């Protein structure tokens, strides 16, 4: 990594934290300049615009999610074990200490859902890919006869994802200490109802 | 309603729409002055501060939710019928045309979850009351032997709520036309697994 790249990566980490707490809209070049001690013009040199910075933040979080949630699940034996790893990995990732303000993708989803534009399109595309990833891993479990043959894997993905949303909500807004247990119970019920 | 109250109510309706699209943070007195054609000082006269305006918006949405979702469900026979009415009412309310930008309470939940203060406390309290309302209606169905005696009603409320979150996400961000069907399927599965 060149010095320029290292600087950019350090700025991005800071930007992800800001977005996690204040949302993408709260992510201004001016604010970031204050936090990093860099000049506004220097930051513009790295990112070009507020929207480019917001996009870079989303891309960084998506990549972090891929590395910390999806890849470890793909390292697990396919079938129900892999689904479980995917679910547990997601919950752990969402609750991790580096996400002061919760999952920046979820915050962005509720922030951008009604704001047409490239940023919303990018996020929706990534989220659809996430649903597809869940459905594909479920389909593999169907192919291995661990889940039943007539399982609607898109419905499974919808419910898997809903439980994760429920966890984030209860954990972050309601400070519910049982949130992870509740999510795990709901996930076990989902898998049991889909079992072959 | 006095003329002053009618004006305040009209401003609030506009403010709820702004909050629904741009979030509570996007809800400034200046912005609202532009949209309503009223003076900033006039708006300050009605609300006093940005935070008071944000609080008034949350209170207005909570009241709308009570009138359009909770009261109709309480008008239904208690038990599973009432749970179903509560669920369907929620989905219909969340998808209603007057919510250009989706449910303002959910948007606020993901916006405020990491911003300590009175506004967050108020919202968390309202959301806890909503979970309790679901759990109480489920408990009534248990008492009537429609749901099983050992049902964990708080877990039931967590899952009920998670499905609603999943609906909002799929409907608003992913433009999923099947979102309401998926949510209804998930809800039926939840009730079936809890049935006596």
* CATH code for the domain in which residue A174 is found: 1.10.357.10
- Give the N- to C-terminal CA distance of chain B in Å, as an integer: 49
**A vs B: CB pairs below 8 A:** 141
* Residue A105 belongs to some domain of the structure: yes
Nearest CB among B154, B165, B182 relative to A165 is that of B165
pLDDT of residue B87: 98
Name the DSSP letter for residue B195.
Answer: B
Is the CB of residue A141 less than 8 Å from the CB of residue A147? yes
Distance from CA of A131 to the nearest CA of B (A): 10
Domain extent for B106: 55-194
pLDDT of residue A103: 85
Residue B1 has pLDDT above 80, yes or no: no
* Residue A114 belongs to some domain of the structure: yes
Is the CB of residue A186 less than 8 Å from the CB of residue B158? yes
* Residue A120 belongs to some domain of the structure: yes
- CA B166 to each of CA A34, A72, B187: distance values in angstroms, whole numbers, following the listed order: 37, 25, 11
SS3 state of residue B4: helix
* Residue B86 belongs to some domain of the structure: yes
* Residue A189 belongs to some domain of the structure: yes
Structure tokens at B65: 């939710």
Give pLDDT tens digits for B110-151.
888 888 999 999 999 999 999 999 999 999 999 999 999 999
Q: Do A165 and B170 touch (CB under 8 A)?
A: no
Mean per-residue pLDDT, B29-39 = 87
Continuous H helices in B23-79? 29-36, 40-47, 50-65, 71-74
* Residue A49 belongs to some domain of the structure: no
User: Percent of chain A scored above 90 by pLDDT?
Assistant: 63
Q: Does A140 touch chain B (CB under 8 A)?
A: no
Split at pLDDT 50, 70, 90, the class of B154 is very high
Q: Does A148 touch chain B (CB under 8 A)?
A: no
Q: Does B99 touch chain A (CB under 8 A)?
A: no
Q: Do B173 and A102 touch (CB under 8 A)?
A: no
Split at pLDDT 50, 70, 90, the class of A149 is very high
In terms of Cα–Cα distance, which of B99, B15, B100, B102 is closest to B59? B15
Give pLDDT tens digits for B158-183.
999 999 999 999 999 999 999 999 99
What was the ipTM of the complex prediction?
A: 0.93
Give pLDDT tens digits for B43-80.
888 888 888 999 999 999 999 999 999 999 999 999 99
pLDDT of residue A131: 98
* Residue B6 belongs to some domain of the structure: no
Residue A180 CA, chain-centre distance (Å), reads 16
- CA A12 to each of CA A28, A33, A56, B114: distance values in angstroms, whole numbers, following the listed order: 12, 12, 8, 20
Selected residues 150-169 of chain B with any CB under 8 Å from a CB in chain A: 152, 154-155, 158-159, 161-163, 165-169
Widest pairwise Cα distance in chain A = 59
pLDDT of residue B68: 95
Nearest CB among B124, B166, B193 relative to A189 is that of B193
User: Scanning every residue of chain B, which has its alpha carbon at the shortest distance from the alpha carbon of A106?
Assistant: B110
User: Domain total for chain B?
Assistant: 1
Residue A40 has pLDDT above 80, yes or no: yes
Is the CB of residue B61 less than 8 Å from the CB of residue B67? no
- CA A191 to each of CA A51, A134, A138, B93, B169: distance values in angstroms, whole numbers, following the listed order: 40, 13, 10, 30, 22
Structure tokens at B14: 């506009």
pTM, rounded to two decimals: 0.94
Split at pLDDT 50, 70, 90, the class of B3 is confident
């Amino acid at each position: 990594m060149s010095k320029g790249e290292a600087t950019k990566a350090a700025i991005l980490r800071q930007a992800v934290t800001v977005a996690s707490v204040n949302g993408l809209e709260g992510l201004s070049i001016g604010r970031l300049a204050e936090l990093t001690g860099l000049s506004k013009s220097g930051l513009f040199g790295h990112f070009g615009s507020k929207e480019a910075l917001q996009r870079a933040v989303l891309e960084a979080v998506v990549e972090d999610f891929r590395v910390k949630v999806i890849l470890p699940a793909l390292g697990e034996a396919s079938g129900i074990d892999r689904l479980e790893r995917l679910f547990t990995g997601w919950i752990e990732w969402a609750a991790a200490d580096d996400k002061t303000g919760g999952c920046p993708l979820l915050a962005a989803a509720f922030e951008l859902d009604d704001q047409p534009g490239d940023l919303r399109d990018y996020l929706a595309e990534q989220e659809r890919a996430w649903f597809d990833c869940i459905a594909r891993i479920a389909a593999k479990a169907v192919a291995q006869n661990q889940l039943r043959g007539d399982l609607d894997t898109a419905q499974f993905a919808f419910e898997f994802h809903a439980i994760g949303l429920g966890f984030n909500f209860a954990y972050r807004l309601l400070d519910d200490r049982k949130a992870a247990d509740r999510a795990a119970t709901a996930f076990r019920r989902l898998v049991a109802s889909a079992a072959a």
